[in-house]
Amino acid sequence: MDHDPEKGSPGAIAEKPRSGGAEDSSSNDDRDAPRQSTGILAQMRNFEARMDRKLGVESEAIVRKRAEDKKPVPWTEELNMALLWASGTMNTSCFATGFLGWQFGLSLKQSILITIFMSILGGATTGYCATFGAATGLRQISAGRFSFGWWPSGMIALLNCIQQMGWSAVSCITGGLALTAVSDGRVSLILGIVILAVVALIISLIGLNAILVYERFAWVIFLVIFLIIFGETGGYANTADPVKPLEGADLAGAVLSFMAIVYGSSASWAVIASDYYVHYPANVSRVKVFLMTTFGIAIPTAIGMVAGCVVASTLDKQPDWSAAYDRGLGYAIDAVLYPDGFAKFLLAVLVLSGINTNVLSIYSAALSFQQLAKPLAQVPRFIWTLVSFVCILALAVGGREELNAYLQNFLSLLGYWCTSYAVILFEEHFIFRKGSFDNYDLDGWNDPKRLPHGIGAAVAFLLGVVAWVMGMKQTWFTGPLAAVIGSSGGDVANELTFVVTAMAYIPARYLELLYFKR
């Protein structure tokens, strides 16, 4: 919405009230627009609408949920703010990530400390973004339009599609490895990947209601399994320093690289967080949302990763376990648990943990496809869900042989751009919107003319990209600043991205307001 210079400086944005009113015609048009398509699209949307009435499959999932249309929820429903993420994060992917500290040459103590604190920091990044869901009634990408504008937010939606499908592919690989191990190789890794993806697809097709019910209870099973892993392997944990401990810059490089990976694992949820909060009342406590999301992600993530850290520390002194790990993650889990029959049972149940992550990722990827552009929003959500499913299968099958390299490269990259996204949302809200959602024209969420151009966000984001390229350390590329830290380099991309984005957005957004008045 245009800024009136007589009402203050460009730093104070005055938007229409978020409650709507007589000027809601554009929003009503947006709500009805998808139904105006003809031909095969119209038939598919009508089919989706019928399924919505019967099964609640969310035929218009990305449409804003207005405050007056939402009902109060019991406190048991609010627990989903934490339990949803507990089910999505306490899985074999986090367990596999815990092994990376040992591979970097860090001690068990160092790996555990990094895991705990960086899980909290990454969880806090997601926790902040989650606070936009209930207050605006918008999915995360749509809420970001008030910072990124129309076209730059399309770029964010595309990145999110790639991210969610990649994250789901990681879960398929780790779950498939476990399924292969529990079947003693009779189930191939490819078949295991397909099984996990198909089950997640079915749940995601139904929509948010099914996801919330499933994820509310699934975490209990996996918490018990990880506690059993701690109980049966804790006595073998190697608390001594590595035979060749890292020192100086080499130690700093390994610490920074592992920090980036753990942070990326928790921060990667930031661009989908509010997708699962739009049904909560608009006046729900933002502090509650922040805390429950932060620790709902951080604690379960840390439990799974620390279990991986503990088992990894034993490999130098347990050659049988090390040999099993070389065969695959599932074989390692099978080897460290006893008795053998019980181990296979737990491993079979643990396979299901990959489904939890896939459910969230497939659902949010489909929503992001719909938010790429208005014509794509007319394509029913279930079609985009199927597209996401096919892409996930392709990624998982293609990356199945190089799991650890996949984790190192992919999880670090996740954290980089999620940091820029969260910083821009934070500064826009507290500096330019004065910390109040009354200063958002929420009824104009789907109208490019009523949104910012997004030039300031685009400039800050792209400068952030330059920063993380300079500071990243991957197996395929090491930035010039990362290369000077130790003999192997150290990942400082997140730190550089945070500073550069934070410093660039304020003047860039101020100039955008000064010249374009919105």
Question: Among 356, 366, 271, which Cα is nearest to 57's?
Answer: 366
Tens of pLDDT, residues 221-231: 899 999 999 99
Identify residue 364 by its one-letter amino acid code.
S
The band of 410, judged by pLDDT with boundaries at 50, 70 and 90, is: low
Contacts 24+ apart (CB under 8 A), 427-434: 427/502, 427/505, 427/506, 427/509, 428/146, 428/147, 428/457, 428/505, 428/509, 431/11, 431/506, 431/509, 432/11, 432/12, 432/13, 432/509, 432/513, 433/13, 433/15, 433/146, 434/12, 434/13
Q: What pLDDT is recorded for position 377?
A: 86
Which whole number is the average pLDDT over 306-333?
A: 91
Q: Is the peptide bond before 339 cis (omega within 30 degrees of 0)?
A: yes
Mean pLDDT calculated for residue range 450-464 = 96
Would you call 35 exposed, middle or buried from its count of C-beta atoms within 10 A (0-12, 13-18, 19+)? middle
* Residue 2 CB-half CA count within 13 A: 3
pLDDT at position 480, please? 95
Q: How confident is the model at residue 497 (pLDDT cuts 50, 70, 90)?
A: very high
Are 114 and 316 in contact by the 8 Å Cβ rule? The answer is no
pLDDT of the residue at 25: 38
Give the CA distances from residue 199 to residues 208, 294, 357, 387, 393, in Å, rounded to whole numbers and listed in that order. Answer: 15, 28, 12, 15, 13
pLDDT recorded at residue 518 = 83
Give the integer Cα–Cα distance in Å for 130 and 281.
14
User: Are 439 and 3 spatial neighbours (Cβ–Cβ below 8 Å)?
Assistant: no
Give the pLDDT score at 232.
94
* pLDDT of 130 above 80: yes
Q: 454-482: string of b/e by CB count within 10 Å (b at 16+)?
A: bbbbbbbbebbbebbbbbbbbeeebbebb
Under 8 Å between Cβ of 470 and 429: no
pLDDT at 19 over 70: no
352: left (phi over 0), alpha (psi -120 to 50) or beta: alpha
Is the pLDDT at 470 greater than 50? The verdict is yes
In the predicted model, is pLDDT for residue 511 greater than 90? yes
pLDDT reported for residue 14: 46
b/e per residue 179-209 (b: at least 16 CB within 10 A): bbbbbeeebebeebbbbbbebbbebbbbbbe
pLDDT for residue 203? 81
pLDDT the model gives residue 234: 92
User: How much is the average pLDDT of 290-301?
Assistant: 96
Crossing angle (nearest 10°) for helices 329-336 and 208-233: 50
**399 phi and psi angles, rounded to 5 deg:** -105, 10
Beta bridge partners of 473: 478
The C-alpha atoms of residue 213 and residue 207 are separated, in whole angstroms, by 11
Question: DSSP state, 478?
Answer: B
Statement: residue 286 has pLDDT above 90: yes
Q: Which pLDDT score is estimated for 69?
A: 85
> In the structure, what pLDDT confidence band is assigned to residue 33 with cuts at 50, 70 and 90?
very low
Task: Name the residue type at position 292.
Answer: M
How much is the average pLDDT of 288-309? Answer: 96
Angle at 26 between CA 20 and CA 32, to 5 degrees: 110
pTM for the full predicted model: 0.86
Q: Which residues of 264-277 are buried (b: 16+ CB within 10 A; e: fewer)?
A: bbbbbbbbbbbbbb
Neighbours of 2 (CB within 10 A): 10
pLDDT at residue 359, as a whole number? 85
pLDDT of residue 28: 41
**Average confidence score pLDDT of the chain:** 85
- Give the mean pLDDT of 394-405: 75
- Residue percentage of the chain with pLDDT more than 70: 87
Q: Which carries the bigger pLDDT value, residue 129 or residue 55?
A: 129
Listed in sequence order, the residues at least 6 apart from 515 whose beta carbon sits closer than 8 Å to its beta carbon are none
Please state, in angstroms and rounded to a whole number, the distance separating the CA atoms of residues 360 and 275: 10
Average pLDDT over residues 7-33: 43
Tokens of 358: 């896939």
Residue 428 DSSP one-character state: I
* pLDDT, tens only, 51-70: 656 655 565 678 899 988 88
Instruction: Output the pLDDT for position 501.
Output: 97
Residue 235: count of CB within 10 angstroms of its CB:
7
Domains within the chain, CATH numbers bracketed: 65-434+447-516 (1.10.4160.10)
Confidence label for 27 from pLDDT (cuts 50, 70 and 90): very low
Cα distances from 293 to residues 107, 212, 213, 252, 296, in angstroms, run: 29, 14, 17, 30, 5
* 74-125 pLDDT, tens digit each: 888 888 899 999 988 888 889 989 999 999 999 999 999 999 999 999 999 9
Residue 241 confidence (pLDDT): 82
In this prediction, residue 360 carries a pLDDT of 86
486: Cβ contacts below 8 Å, ≥ 6 apart: 248, 249, 250, 251, 252, 253, 254
